Structures are given as structure tokens and as C-alpha cells.
Amino acid sequence: MYISNLACVACGKKLLPGLNYNCPDCGGILTVEYHYERIDKDKLRRDLERPIESIWQYKALLPIENETNIVSLREGATPLLELGNLGEEYGFESVMVKDETRNPTGSFKDRPTCVGISKAIELGVETVTIASSGNAAAAVAGYSAKAGIKSFVFVPESTPLGKVCQALTYGARIIKVKGNYSNSFKLALEATKKYNWVNLTSTFLNPYTLEGDKTVAYELYYQLNGEVPDYVVVPIGAGPLLHGILKGYRELEALGFIRKTPAMVGVQAERCSPIVQAYESNSQTVKSSEIGSTIASGIADPLIGYEQDGTLTLKAICESKGIAVSVSEEEIADAVHELGSKEGLYAEPTGATCWAGYKKLLKENRITGDDSAVLMLTGHGLKQPLAGSAQDEEIPVVVPNLSALEEQIDL
Ligand SMILES: [Zn+2]
């Protein structure tokens, strides 16, 4: 309702809020700005302090001008759960999981996608596209079905079957692209230009999608009674979720609701960690890197052709006094198993990296057990089932009767 313009983060150029992806002058990333001074702060405070219904509770800070264009499946309003059992075991006081698996299509991607699709409708477009490693593909397909518009989804050839099945069920046209995610990204971009679609690729390409990510900060404001956690830990590929959450907190700070922002922690898989590599070498710019295969497919992003996205995320991490950390395949698999067996949380490997990264920083004393933290559990385990390392060999036990059962179970 209060959107004013798009602004380039590199050169500062301002544009009217239309169908733009990158800055026409320098190719920089565009971000959405608002008439903050016109916002009714009393009304916003009431919306921030009442139980959460969906992200549209915060529509004053979202880029849709006419409410009738909103396409919603009741996204957001995800629970904040304390890791009490793991806290006792590892010795920390206040670490919570923001359980994004409860979103309508099973991942946090519903936040950016529903804002992006609503804006596409507002701009009068009837076909959308996305390059996605899986979760965003399912989200775009699901919200397109709800909106009654066509969607074309470009996915890397290695995308897990479960994720493609979900998007297919929603009626999307799926195009598998040879090679890694960057190839899907490039082809979706070329098709967008040729056919005049709206591209909802959830890197930093579409400025409106990022606005959905920031609603996490508003929800945490309510769920933590206005307290700001010391750390927010986020699995990152290009990193729009991390950047978006920090943007949300910065807006709350600028509007006078909070006095500090959290330190942002970005977690990558060791086998694909261009942002962590730049962070560890004290570089201010991120270079793309070829990748090895990782079970954390949702963050397996080499950033080829859009390195500036990684650089913007690195900047957010450093400015917030946060940390970038990478985790091994074994640490990711162990994290899936621990979250499931100790806390009843079923995460896909990508989502579980938030716990793997936090645990590593705790062990290395880079975060203490007294620091409060919120871990972003980004996607549901049913999307990419992984039993976890220790369990693999225990599952296929067949028992014919009660006496055989007694030999197998440990009472
Ligand atoms: Zn620019």
C-alpha cells in the first residue's frame, strides 16, 4: 500500500515499481522502498502485536497496491519451537526453530512466491516462470494453480523426484535443464525475455519476492514479544532469505519498534560454499565456484552469472556482525537425524543445515550457549526423505511373530 519505488543497491538509481529485474544502468540488484513516513504506525503496531494469521497481516510493508490482487494459501504464521531436548544435551538456553515446513507447499518459499505472484497479477501478467532447485518450483506451481495462471518451471536435472512430482501435481509445466542450477537460471531468463513472462526466480532477480522473505522478522517480533534474538541462522544458496530477514528487522528498527538487529548467520554445504569461502578469506566480493554433489540440494548454488547476489548476502552477514559457516555431508545427515529423533522435527537436508551450522559454531565457541538464536528450518523432510546416518541399517527389520519381535527390540 505504501510502496514508493525500486532502488538499485549498487548505483542508487530509482525506478517506478514496474516489471523490472536488474538496474537498467548498471545491472545491479533492485530493492523495494516504501513511503515509511506515511505508514500509520499505531495500526502497524496493532498488526505486529496480534496473533499471526498470515504474512498479509503486514500488508502495509508489502508491495501490493490493491488487496484484490493478493493470492494466498495462508502462508507464514509458522510456529517458533524451542529446542529443549537438544538444549539439555548441548548446553544452550534459548535456541528456537522457526518451523517453515508448515507453510502450504512445505517450505519457506511460499513467502516470497505468494508476494511475487500477487505482484505479477497486479502487473497484469498471466504466465510466470522460475528456475528452482525444487522448493520454489513447488511454491510457484502451487500459487499459480490457486491464481489460475500458467507456470513454467526450470529445474536442474538432478532435482529430487518428490519435488518435481509436487510441482507437476499443481499443474506446472516442468522443464529439466542439463547441468547445475546456474544453467536453469540462464535458460529461464532467456525464455522470460522472449515470451514476456514474469520471472519469480528466488535469487535476488525479482525485487518483489524478497519482500515476502522479510515477513519472518515481523512474525518473530510477535513470537518473541518484541525481543530480538542474538543470532538468526539461515541455510543459504544465493541468500535472499537471510537478506530479507535482515531487511525486515532494519525496517522495524527504522520505524522505532526495536533498537537492534540480529547477527545473521549463513550456512552452506562445504561442497558448495562460495559465500563462506569469500567470508573466510576476508574478501568483500563473492566469486562463483563449481560444485560437488551435496545432499543439501536446495542450497547447491554456484552463483555463476549472478555473483553479485552472493556479494550482497556476504555484505548483510558482515554488516550484521554475523558469521558464514559451512558444514560437511556427514554433519548435514547427522543434523537431519538429530532434529528428527530428539525434537520430532522432520527436515529436508537443506533445512537441517541450520542446526548443523549452529552446532558447529557452538562447538567451536564462536557462539555461546547463553546467546539466543532462531534457526530457520526451511523445508520439509517429506520432500527429500533421508533417514539419517545412524538409522540407515536399522530400518529393514522383518519380524514374523511376537517372540521374534522380543529379540529385536530394546525395551
Ligand atoms: Zn544501478
pLDDT digits (tens, 9 = 90+) for 12-71: 999 999 999 999 999 999 999 999 999 999 999 999 999 999 999 999 999 999 999 999
Reported in sequence order, the residue ranges of 137-183 that DSSP labels E, i.e. its strands, are 150-156, 173-177
Using alpha carbons, list the distances in angstroms from residue 406 to 24, 73, 260, 390.
70, 47, 57, 22
Report the separation in Å between the CA atom of 360 and the middle of ligand 1, taken as the mean of its atom positions: 38
pLDDT for the residue 410: 77
pLDDT for the residue 392: 54
- Whole-structure pTM over 0.85, yes or no? yes
Q: Which fold has domain 80-103+209-389?
A: Rossmann fold (3.40.50)
Q: Which residues pair with 15 in a beta bridge?
A: 6
Report the separation in Å between the CA atom of 258 and the middle of ligand 1, taken as the mean of its atom positions: 30
pLDDT for the residue 183: 86
Domain spans, the chain: 80-103+209-389
d(CA 405, CA 409): 6
Report the separation in Å between the CA atom of 238 and the middle of ligand 1, taken as the mean of its atom positions: 19
Report the separation in Å between the CA atom of 339 and the middle of ligand 1, taken as the mean of its atom positions: 43
Strands 323-327 and 373-377: unpaired
Using alpha carbons, list the distances in angstroms from residue 234 to 163, 281, 393.
21, 21, 31
pLDDT digits (tens, 9 = 90+) for 347-375: 999 999 999 999 999 999 999 999 999 99
Q: Which residues of the chain have pLDDT under 50?
A: 390
Which of 267, 218, 237 has the alpha carbon at shortest distance from 53?
218
Report the separation in Å between the CA atom of 253 and the middle of ligand 1, taken as the mean of its atom positions: 26
- Neighbour count for residue 371 (Cβ, 10 Å): 18
